[in-house]
Structure 1
Amino acid sequence: MSDARQYFQLPTPFAMKRGGSLHGAHVAYETWGTLSAERDNALLILTGLSPSAHAAANDIDPSPGWWEEMIGPGKAIDTSRWFVICVNSLGSDKGSTCPASIDPATGEPYRLTFPDLSLEDVAHASHAMVTSLGIDKLACLIGCSMGGMSALAYMLLHPGSVRTHISVDTAPQAQPFAIAIRSLQREAIRLDPHWNDGQYDNERYPDIGMSIARKLGVITYRSAMEWNGRFARIRLDPEQREDQPFGFEFQVESYLEGHAQRFVRTFDPNSYLYLSRASDWFDISEYGNGSVLEGLKRIHIEQALVIGVSTDILFPLEQQEQIAEGLEAAGANVQFVALDSPQGHDAFLVDIENYSRAIGGFLSRL
């Protein structure tokens, strides 16, 4: 399998919002479709915390992407019409410069010497990559989960660079519940003795901390309704149970363990810590004198689709309503879609039928 990743070298030094700068940094991205001669059909996708830029299969890398059913010829995000770009967030270890990258000044991995990361930095890096392709104005900017926050920063910090926006299961600022969960995830990693203040390696690796962090995440990405429907109180067969005190007894415990094991070694723990904290720090009200609405009113675009799901406990529906209200107050023509998918926050990855209808419908009218 070939790698479809392309790399954009960020300007050096690349100044970070909270101080410090990166030298020789880059972001990874992938593309689908063809950029029009007028360069007016570009659609950028900003991702959640853990996905790579590989949102869908393409000629170079045919493996399924994380939004495979959404992107492609004739799909909701129709690549026969749109030139689709998906960028891997600065700070993520899926190809972009991150805490696991080599610091050119020392020849060693940055680890915790990586500058404090904000979602504004993610937005600036993404914007620099887009403009390097000769695209002055995106036809549409799509942000999912954490990427939706990065998208708000992108539009606010680069006025006039986006025509329309699709906001998917996100928020204008983290609420205390989301901060509390992410704080616990970070604590699980930091308290793993193998984390060792960020100085781990493959032999001594914070597997347990990452596993607990992932389990906490998976619990909040879905809804209680879905957990009840899928697992009820079904117990594991005796031979599947752990032969130790307080070992796994219920199917839901085993499910979470499987999820965690598949994730643990696929994401750099320090990168996870940096991106998680960047999500907590983001607050659009910083740009509106302490008011979310006033911050959102500084974003000027033509049209927006704001999608949320009633079962999302991490980014509750009222936060999507806030975004819709703010963009509308700023003069955009806004369509707000509230879905009742049982899958909670992760619905945009699972309930493809309903999300496709909303996103495909919006894009077809542009």
Structure 2
Amino acid sequence: MPDARKYFELPSPFAMKRGGALTGAHVAYETWGELSPRRDNAILIFTGLSPDAHAASSEADPSPGWWERMLGPGKPIDTERWFVICVNALGSDKGSSGPASINPATGEPYRLDFPKLTLEDVANAGHALVSEGLGIERLACLIGCSMGGMSALAYMLAHPGQVRAHISVDTAPQAQPFAIAIRSLQREAIRLDPNWNDGHYSRECYPTNGMSMARKLGVITYRSAMEWNGRFARIRLDPDQREEQPFGVEFQVESYLEAHAQRFIHQFDPNCYLYLSRASDWFDVAEYGNGSVHEGLKRICIEQALVIGVTTDILFPLEQQEQIAHGLKAAGAKVEFVALDSPQGHDAFLVDIEHYGPAIGGFLERLPKPD
């Protein structure tokens, strides 16, 4: 199977924000387009929790990527103009080092011996790739989606002056109690599965039920009540499709969640899920502003920004996108704020390209041409 994935070996030891360091660690990434001779046309994309670095198809890997309709020649993120990099988050299991990786000190998977992970660590790993791996001193634009948007904010706070423009997509400067509560329940579902076994599970003895419940909880929050009503209403399954046991699956929406969970269960490592989920809860721009999110955002030094949110997002609500826009504007950036009415909720940026595409493509088109 073709694979466009590349790897960058992180500086060793790679220090982690909350203590400890990684030796022999790496991040996975993919690229599209051509880097200009002056290395001034680069765009870096930080993803949400579960996607890998394969954001779009390429000659090396023609399979569709998770942002296929957004990225490519002539698309909103036009690879005929931009050199685009998508990095898989440190801590993930999609090619980058994480809890599922082999600990060189023991020859066994890290599991819970992996150091405490923060989104600042994710950001610093991405920065090391850009600056040391690719020799890019300053990004033309930094794009962050969902959890990746928080990683992008961490990147700009830790490395001032090394990003010209920023596109913030459905993210937050800090996790609100509702988001923390949902992710806490997801983590609890995994940890309470007997097969999790304090992180020492195997393919044969795997926390299937915990991962299934965690994914279902996530999917419920990724879409809006409006879409659930529109797609499923109260439609019941045909009698021959229903489960016979007491309280079994009866409605179409239940069947949809079950199918979605089953597809995901073995596609993401449970320990990696736990680490990235907790890292999302820990991130807080207020730490950089003496307890104030606004003051923390004012420390970000960029020229232009596009902040996009959707009115139906319950996980990263629109007021948090407004908070980011106000903070970046107060820092001196020229900020465009776009509030979309998409019924798809938090997942809108993945599926509602008809609305997100023109906003992102238009912003990038208006950026100054690289010298």
Q: TM-score, normalised by structure 2?
A: 0.98
Q: Distance between the aligned counterparts of 2:130 and 2:291, measured in 1? A: 30
SS in 1 for 2:31: strand
Q: Distance between the aligned counterparts of 1:156 and 1:339, measured in 2? A: 27
Q: Distance between the aligned counterparts of 1:291 and 1:48, measured in 2? A: 25
Q: Distance between the aligned counterparts of 1:108 and 1:263, measured in 2? A: 25
Partner of 2:62: 62
SS in 2 for 1:194: helix
Which residue type is aligned with residue 316 of structure 2?
F
| TM-fit CA distance, 1:60 | 0.6
Which residue type is aligned with residue 180 of structure 1?
A
Cα-to-partner distance string for 1:149-171 (whole Å, 9 max, x where unaligned): 00000000000110000000000
Partner of 2:30: 30
SS in 1 for 2:194: coil
Q: TM-score, normalised by structure 1?
A: 1.00
| TM-fit CA distance, 1:344 | 0.1
Partner of 1:90: 90
Query: Identity over the aligned pairs, expressed in percent?
Result: 82
Q: Distance between the aligned counterparts of 1:37 and 1:12, measured in 2? A: 29
Partner of 1:180: 181
1:211 aligned onto 2:207: no
SS in 1 for 2:316: coil
Partner of 1:233: 234
Which residue type is aligned with residue 287 of structure 2?
E
Q: Distance between the aligned counterparts of 2:6 and 2:243, measured in 1? A: 45
4+ long deviations beyond 6 Å: none
SS in 2 for 1:307: strand
| TM-fit CA distance, 1:2 | 1.4
Cα-to-partner distance string for 1:243-278 (whole Å, 9 max, x where unaligned): 100000100000000100000000000000000000
Cα-to-partner distance string for 1:163-190 (whole Å, 9 max, x where unaligned): 0000000000000000000000000000
Mark the runs of 5 or more structure 1 residues left unpaired by the alignment: none
| TM-fit CA distance, 1:70 | 0.2
1:74-153 alignment, distance < 5 Å: 74-131=74-131, 132-153=133-154
Partner of 1:15: 15
Q: Distance between the aligned counterparts of 1:238 and 1:187, measured in 2? A: 33
1:326-337 alignment, distance < 5 Å: 326-337=327-338
| TM-fit CA distance, 1:134 | 1.0
| TM-fit CA distance, 1:288 | 0.2
Q: Distance between the aligned counterparts of 2:73 and 2:61, measured in 1? A: 16
Which residue type is aligned with residue 161 of structure 2?
G
Which residue type is aligned with residue 281 of structure 2?
D
Mark the runs of 5 or more structure 2 residues left unpaired by the alignment: none
1:322-361 alignment, distance < 5 Å: 322-361=323-362
Q: Distance between the aligned counterparts of 1:164 and 1:215, measured in 2? A: 35
| TM-fit CA distance, 1:241 | 0.2
Partner of 2:283: 282
Aligned-residue CA RMSD (Å): 0.4
Partner of 1:51: 51
| TM-fit CA distance, 1:199 | 0.1
SS in 1 for 2:164: strand
Partner of 1:72: 72
Corresponding residue pairs, total: 366
SS in 1 for 2:136: coil
Which residue type is aligned with residue 306 of structure 1?
V
